[in-house]
A and B are shown apart, each in its own frame.
Chain A
Amino acid sequence: MVSATENILNDNGVRSQGSTDVMKIWTAKATDH
């Protein structure tokens, strides 16, 4: 799914998967439940 998202972003000229505030969350280490 990650690569599909990257392809979609590239195909549509979108530079980032998300705004800066949410990308900090996305790239943070996943919490253990």
Chain B
Amino acid sequence: MKINLPVLRQRPLVIPELKGSYPSYFVYGPIVFSEATTDLIALAQRNRETSAIVGMLTYIGSPLITRIGDKPTFPGERLVVVPCPFFPHRLSKGYGNPGWQVLQTVNHQPIKNLAHLVEVLRDLKDEFVTFEFNTRSSGEAIVFLGPKWSAPPKIS
């Protein structure tokens, strides 16, 4: 008996490997967004200083840990992550370090992947943009001005 079946050459993953390519990224104000990859998580495990990050991610129930090896639940699903601390700027004053957190919503709209985040920000007409992250504890939302708005000038 001969059967012809299409086979997958690789398992689709919500946290894929970079496979030697550069990660996509987007900067909005002082915050950087990228997509979670196994390479990024491996970076945290590489040495003693950063391995504490893995413990912290486990403690907060981060999808970076809980979804390793998962298939996407819909086509194109990826985890949008903040891969580094804020750039220094007055806009980020008062906020904790969002590094290694996974973005869940923008103005209460669930985010599917980095391209979708950029689309949502691009089309946003609201005065403020609120970033909410996926943690077991409620965590901290970050609020910035919307992309089409600018801060009032400083009065000296």
Q: Which A residues form the contact surface with B (CB < 8 A)?
A: 1-5, 7-9, 11-12, 14, 17-19, 21-22, 25-26, 28, 30-31, 33
Contacts and interface: CB of A to CB of B under 8 A. Distances in A.
Given A3-B150, A8-B89, A30-B123, A25 B115 contact: yes
Interface residues of B, number: 28
Contacts of A33: 123
Given A1-B145, A22-B114, A17 B119 contact: no
Contacts of A17: 26-27
Contact of A22 (B118, B147, B151): B118
Interface in B112-156: 114-115, 118-119, 121-123, 144-151
Interface in B3-25: 22-25
B28 A5 contact: yes
B144 A25 contact: no
A9 B30 CA distance: 9
A4 B115 contact: no
8 contacts: A1-B28, A1-B145, A2-B148, A4-B151, A11-B87, A19-B23, A26-B122, A31-B123
Nearest to B26: A18
B91 interface: yes
B118 A26 contact: yes
Contacts of A31: 119, 123
B80 to A, nearest CB: 11
B29 A26 contact: no
Contact of A30 (B30, B88, B122, B150): B122
B38 to A, nearest CB: 19
